[in-house]
Structure 1
């Protein structure tokens, strides 16, 4: 088992552990609070296209398959019809002591307050107090 972990660490050092993934996110200017845990960093996606727009609070538990976004490039379809316009990015904030269930998706512009639970498979947009 140690050999497999070593190979994973060499191939993808940024996703080999919770600590490595948090360091990777912080190096990319994403705020991650203390004691937050990514249970499956290899299967979690935090949008690094607009890193300054994402913040994740302290004591959060983020499970496998979670996607956290700060941009939406589907707007490019409308741009062909209506021309150039502003949009497609928005701040995404997750409060302290939150649990994000398996395969949940946090859309751009979402604010999740403190002490919230997002159920498995949820798509969350807007505000959750």
Structure 2
């Protein structure tokens, strides 16, 4: 590891490299397949509030900035209308051999199939 990469890891942490981000996701319970590459890990946001609800398949390439969610705040519309909150956490699945392009947002509850460019 070069001295620059060592400083990046100290300053930025797990988001300093694709490998670091992927290992972090696995360590907290996200199901992450093999050959997953996050090209701009510092600018990529992957929802870790519900790690058990996120699955990322094999051979996935994620550019940056990208956002991947397992929840959202759409419940706020129902809360204003009815006064109570319905569940807002949903399983998000990204299949195998997927490319997620620049500024894409994968919303909670989405299922991105295999061999998809989004």
TM-score of the superposed pair, with normalisation by structure 2: 0.90
Alignment-derived partner of residue 98 in structure 2 = 98
Shift of 1:4: 4.1
3-state SS, counterpart of residue 22 of structure 1: helix
**Equivalences for residues 1-129 of structure 1 within 5 A:** 2-76=2-76, 78-118=78-118
- The question of whether the paired residues in 1 share the 8 Å contact of 2:75 and 2:86 is answered with no
Q: Distance in 2 between matches of 1:109 and 1:36?
A: 21
3-state SS, counterpart of residue 25 of structure 2: helix
Q: Which runs of 5+ in 1 are unaligned?
A: 119-129
Q: Distance in 2 between matches of 1:103 and 1:9?
A: 24
- The question of whether the paired residues in 1 share the 8 Å contact of 2:91 and 2:110 is answered with yes
Q: Which runs of 5+ in 2 are unaligned?
A: none
Greater length-normalized contact order (CA 8 Å, ≥ 6 residues apart) = 2
TM-score of the superposed pair, with normalisation by structure 1: 0.83
Shift of 1:74: 4.1
3-state SS, counterpart of residue 55 of structure 1: strand
Structure 1, 11-20 or 68-77: larger mean CA deviation: 68-77
User: Root-mean-square deviation (CA), in Å?
Assistant: 1.5
